[in-house]
Amino acid sequence: MAYLEIAGGRPLYGEITVQGSKNAALPILAACILGEGPCEIENCPQIQDVEDTLSILRMLGCRAERSGHTVFVDAARLERYSIYGAEAIRIRSSILFLGALLGRIGKAVLPYPGGCAIGSRPIDLHLKALETLGAQFSAQQDTCFSDSRAETNEREAPFTGQCRICARAPELHGGSIFFAMPSVGATENAILAAVCADGTTVIENAAMEPEIAELCDFLKLRGATISWEEERTIRVTGTKRLSPVRYRLHADRIVAGNYLLAAATCGGCVRMRNLPFGLLDAPLAILRAMGMTIEEDGTVRAGLPLTAVEEVTTAPYPGFPTDLQSPMMAALCVARGNSRIRETVFENRFLTARQLQKMGARIETEKNLARIEGLWGNGQLCGTSVTAPDLRGGAALVQAASAAAGRTRIYGYEYIARGYEDICRDYRNMGAEIYLRE
């Protein structure tokens, strides 16, 4: 079982370039099956979630190849609409093929999606939105249509016994969707189905994450008609023709925010060549309040001690991102003074606290509130063995281990590899001592 070994306790100095955005790549790769022309996605991170998505595309009959950081997808020969296997169950974003397949061929069979265990991860908002556009669903053990295995081209699909989502949409049509909460994935699924539906779809109380804006930019470059109107409203006018396109992904704002918090936690001076300033307003404001200086060229300086923050509350974009909640917790553990974190997006996203406590952190959690007693002046994080509970929790543990005295082993590296192209490379470029042990 691979694990990371880190010798911590020194400030970070160096320069890094942030990888392409995972959470933009995943919906855009699903969108490649809309229309038949080849698409080229540049700056596509070499991470497990992307590789799993490429496997799903091939399963559907698409050509999906990678050359370095460029991925080529040609969906001309897409012939299947059934997704199965470990890849689809491992990643949350496999659910985005529901809207994309309904948009492309009006049918889809896929397992309930996976993803980090940070909450129950329901898909009710996805299904309700797609029903509004004309989709019909059934969820049955492995056979979904009358002549199941023949009709769904599942001749070679292994019988899994899983309960799966079976959807059909003989006529996808426009409609009015209102999301009870601004779900990122459900907004993306609604867009993926609406972009090829007959008529216009209005999505209200939509999520506004930059990754959704990237998905819309990608689709508009292909010929889709999508406009962002007043607060949280997206209007999509269906089109039958989407053209081939070459698209370059932006830098991953969550990875960038994570590395800013690493510099804050360890102290030092790091230059981030492609810091996506415009996508991190909320985290940057808090980091400055904690005492970091952030220059226009992406140079960040963190003198220790960090100043504690009375309360950080996660919220949908443009609020403080829930994906930076664990990295923020790790930083506040070493600050001077006490802080609180309120997690309002997921109901089970404090799992990292237990691992940080093993390193000596003083954290108390109660429901969606975490109270952190900063160790500056009265303790320190110490190296030990910990286990990543999820993707961003694992990244937060790397951050804490780099600041801790002594050596730390972090198990659960497979979680980190889902979203970080090469966390060892990045930390070494910041001067850390970190090894991946097989």
From CA 327, how far away is CA 349, in angstroms rounded? Answer: 12
Smaller CB separation from ligand EPZ, 92 or 104: 92
* Binding of residue 364 to ligand EPZ (CB under 6 A): no
Residue of 39, 282, 375, 391 that binds ligand EPZ (CB under 6 A): 391
* Binding of residue 325 to ligand EPZ (CB under 6 A): no
Smaller CB separation from ligand EPZ, 184 or 404: 184
Residue of 85, 106, 119, 431 that binds ligand EPZ (CB under 6 A): 119
Smaller CB separation from ligand EPZ, 125 or 196: 125
Cβ–Cβ under 8 Å, residues 121 and 115? yes
Residue of 15, 77, 122, 198 that binds ligand EPZ (CB under 6 A): 122
* Binding of residue 206 to ligand EPZ (CB under 6 A): no
**CB neighbours (10 Å) of residue 145?**
16
- Number of shown-chain residues binding ligand EPZ (CB under 6 A): 28
* Binding of residue 392 to ligand EPZ (CB under 6 A): yes
For residues 83-116, b (16+ Cβ closer than 10 Å) or e, as one string? bbbebbbbbbbbbbbbbbbbbbbbbbbbbbbbbb
Q: Which of residues 278-297 bind ligand EPZ (CB under 6 A)?
A: none
Cβ–Cβ under 8 Å, residues 386 and 409? yes
Residues near 84 by beta carbon (within 8 Å), at least 6 away in sequence: 59, 109, 110, 111, 154, 157, 158, 160, 162, 164
* Binding of residue 125 to ligand EPZ (CB under 6 A): yes
Residue of 57, 184, 191, 370 that binds ligand EPZ (CB under 6 A): 184
From CA 37, how far away is CA 31, in angstroms rounded? Answer: 12
The answer to whether 116 is a known catalytic residue is yes
Smaller CB separation from ligand EPZ, 271 or 418: 418
* Binding of residue 224 to ligand EPZ (CB under 6 A): no
Smaller CB separation from ligand EPZ, 259 or 346: 346
The residue at minimum Cβ distance from ligand EPZ is 185
Q: Residue 348 carries which DSSP code?
A: T
Cβ–Cβ under 8 Å, residues 303 and 332? no
Of 76-84, 103-111, 118-126, 223-231, the window that binds ligand EPZ (rule: CB under 6 A) is 118-126
From CA 380, how far away is CA 212, in angstroms rounded? Answer: 40
Enter the tokens of residue 192. 């993926």
CB of 232 to ligand EPZ, least distance (A): 13
The DSSP-derived string for 172-189 is: -B--EEE-SS--HHHHHH
Residue of 186, 195, 272, 331 that binds ligand EPZ (CB under 6 A): 186
Enter the tokens of residue 115. 């993803």
Cβ–Cβ under 8 Å, residues 326 and 393? yes
Smaller CB separation from ligand EPZ, 207 or 309: 207
Enter the tokens of residue 76. 């001309």
User: Among residues 44, 116, 196, 269, which one is catalytic?
Assistant: 116
Smaller CB separation from ligand EPZ, 25 or 236: 25
Residue of 345, 381, 388, 432 that binds ligand EPZ (CB under 6 A): 345
Enter the tokens of residue 223. 């010929």
Long-range contacts of 293-300 (CB under 8 A, 24+ apart): 294/260, 297/271, 298/271, 298/272, 298/273, 298/274, 299/269, 299/270, 299/271, 299/272, 300/260, 300/263, 300/264, 300/269, 300/270, 300/271, 300/272, 300/275
* Binding of residue 181 to ligand EPZ (CB under 6 A): yes
Residue of 82, 183, 352, 399 that binds ligand EPZ (CB under 6 A): 183
Q: Which of residues 1-40 bind ligand EPZ (CB under 6 A)?
A: 22-23, 26
Enter the tokens of residue 161. 């016994």
* Binding of residue 419 to ligand EPZ (CB under 6 A): yes
Cβ–Cβ under 8 Å, residues 242 and 216? no
From CA 245, how far away is CA 111, in angstroms rounded? Answer: 30
Residue of 11, 185, 267, 393 that binds ligand EPZ (CB under 6 A): 185
Smaller CB separation from ligand EPZ, 74 or 209: 209
Q: Would you please indicate which residues are annotated as catalytic (active-site) residues?
A: 116
Which residues are near ligand EPZ by CB under 6 A? Answer: 22-23, 26, 92-93, 116, 119-126, 181, 183-186, 207, 209, 322-323, 345-346, 391-392, 419
